Amino acid sequence: MNKLFGYILTPIHYLLFGMLLFLFHPIQWLCLKLGGQEGHKKSVDVLNFFLLGTYYILGSRIQFKNPYNLPTNRPIIFIANHQSMYDIPALIWFLRSYHAKFISKIELTKGIPSISFNLKYGGGANIDRKDSKQAVSEIIKLAEKMKKFNWSTVIFPEGTRAKNGLIKPFAVGGVATLLKKVPDALLVPIAINGSWQLVQYGKYPLSTGQKITWEVLEPFEAGNKTMEEIVEAAEKAIRKAL
């Protein structure tokens, strides 16, 4: 039944999702011109609040769990698994107090209303996966901004989406590059579950009635751990939560 309803509700979801992206593209531009980085961020936060609302059209149930009082006066590296593009709006909205930035593919900086604009001017790292030097340089620039402005970063160490929900091995590189520049960053795993089911039939139809959860897990310090031990600890925590 969830697939049958998907044929009916998916076009409505896509229509509203697309309208929001087109509507907020000039809003982002205006907020950036008038309010600078902070004004732009607020427009992006509001956009993603409304994008989350389009999930309900599909009958999705959304739950974000964060039992921890995370600090806002120090950088945080949020380490999450990645199931679909639908992971992103909730992370932007619910982590808005931490100025969370993303490491994204450079291809996404062109041709997508609102999303491409945000990636270009939002302060995150846009990496070319075919150019390792460029990728490392971009992540270093992001780390320097984290240190300067107390920003945070969301990183998906799997490197790509786990389309069947099964976690792929976490890579060390991105986390290691960030920590070398921001060694005092707090490490916070996030377990994402259910968003892959939303796209289990592909882009059309989307699946309806799915429960999607984002669960913030126990924070930890890097301490004397090796980079491998840090990433392994985050991966184990996420696997256990799922």
The CA distance from 110 to 117, in Å, is: 8
Percentage of the chain with pLDDT > 70? Answer: 100
Percentage of the chain with pLDDT > 90? Answer: 91
Domain boundaries, the chain: 2-241
pLDDT digits (tens, 9 = 90+) for 179-207: 999 999 999 999 999 999 999 999 999 99
Domain 2-241 listed as CATH 3.90.105: no
**Token couple for 46:** 């509001």
What would the mean pLDDT of 55-70 be, rounded to a whole number? 97
- pTM, 2 dp: 0.94
Work out the number of other CB atoms within 10 angstroms of the CB of residue 236.
Answer: 12
pLDDT digits (tens, 9 = 90+) for 75-124: 999 999 999 999 999 999 999 999 999 999 999 999 999 999 999 999 99
